[in-house]
Amino acid sequence: MTLPAVLQDLSLPVIASPMFIASGPALVAAQCKAGIVGSFPALNARPKELLDTWLTDLQAELAAYQAVNPGARVGPIAVNQIVHQSNERLEHDVDVCVRHKVPIIISSLRAPPVEMLDAIHSYGGIVLHDVISLRHAQKALEAGVDGLVLVASGAGGHAGTLSPFALVGEVRRIFDGPIALSGSIATGDAILAAQAMGADFAYIGSRFLATQESNVTEEYRKAIIESSAADVVYTNLFTGVHGNYLKKSILAAGLDPENLPVSDKSKMSFDSGTAKAWRDIWGAGQGVGMMHDAPTTAELLERLKTEYNAARARLQLRT
């Protein structure tokens, strides 16, 4: 399998995942300048008119950076679109991305409709769809997506329940195209492990929450650094979809993390009411136990590269 051109020349096989509220232009610019895919959810640009401004400014900033650093590998921008009836902005946001020829669209929840896929393919863009099961992967592939993001157990935000070994193994049997794996990947060793399992890319979210450029409060950043896997709670209470959240924020909201009520899936919503839930209830994956500081994104990427190369050398020594 040959990877799509836009994914071929990254400095490390990493796609930074889109995170509601947390992924803003500063984080995306830093991710792309470090040579990996930088991403943000379209819904983070509020009001919706801001999406055009964000993309104009980001594309100009990255072009200027490339001009001054002609040898640097600058990663592509990806925009996340929530494909769900409660997302009233979808058509507008896809139009803006098409106008800006955003090279990668990451779709979540429902498989994208054919008109959306055609619009993105018309300028050479690709669509990666995020799934938590083989069945959803099959549906997305039938719809015509170009690649898959496999969200395994332990991922931050909305997460699946399957072991990454099981999920990658099953999906690889039916799909030879680009696969990104997510769920608690926070070190260079784990990026290499994702590739060893059969994925092409590590899809990393929570590790970027504890960087200088993430759009989160100091309390949130501190809670990430101080938490470990046992401090992460899996619940569908806050959005109707199961996800992983920091226990500390659930306690602060006056709830008992050990006895949370179960939510009604039909209440699933991605409107402005959800923003408050995500601001107060902090999403994070089980990889938090490996995050002990809040470096700049550039520093983090240098560290991940060093760890990745050391892990490769270590394995070669053992064979």
Ligand X SMILES: Cc1cc2nc3c(=O)[nH]c(=O)nc-3n(C[C@H](O)[C@H](O)[C@H](O)COP(=O)(O)O)c2cc1C
Q: Site residues (CB under 6 A) for ligand X?
A: 17-20, 22, 41, 80, 108, 130, 151, 155-158, 182-185, 203-206, 283-285, 287
Contacts of 28 (CB under 8 A, 6+ apart): 16, 38, 39, 40, 58, 77
Nearest CB to ligand X, comparing residues 46 and 64:
46
Q: How far is CA 87 from CA 71, 81, 169, 220, 278, in A?
A: 40, 9, 32, 26, 16
Least CB distance from residue 284 to ligand X, whole Å?
5
Nearest residue to the partner ligand X, using Cβ: 205
Phi, psi of 130 (to 5 degrees): -100, 130
> E strands, 171-248, where?
179-182, 201-204, 232-235, 243-246
> Hey, which residues does 182 pair with through a beta bridge?
151, 203
Of residues 158 and 248, the one with the C-beta less far from ligand X:
158
Shortest Å, Cβ 208 to ligand X: 8
Q: How far is the CB of 1 from ligand X (least distance, A)?
A: 23
Residue 306 structure tokens: 């060093």
Residues 6+ apart with CB under 8 A from 48: 89, 92, 93
Nearer to ligand X among residue 66 and residue 215 (C-beta): 215
Closer to ligand X at the Cβ: 122 or 182? 182
Q: Residue 204, Cα to own-chain centre: how many angstroms? A: 6
Q: Shortest Cβ distance from residue 11 to ligand X (Å)?
A: 18
Closest CA to 33 of 6, 65, 60, 59: 65
Least Cβ distance, residue 70 to ligand X (angstroms): 32
Nearer to ligand X, 125 or 285 (CB): 285
Q: Which residues pair with 134 in a beta bridge?
A: none
Token pair in block for residue 231: 């401090």
Of 122 and 163, CB closest to ligand X: 163
**Closest CB to ligand X among residues 64, 230:** 230
Could you tell me the smallest distance in angstroms from the CB atom of residue 18 to ligand X? 5
What residues does 128 pair with on adjacent strands? 106, 147
Least distance to ligand X, CB of residue 271, Å: 13
Residue listed under structure tokens 């550039």:
298
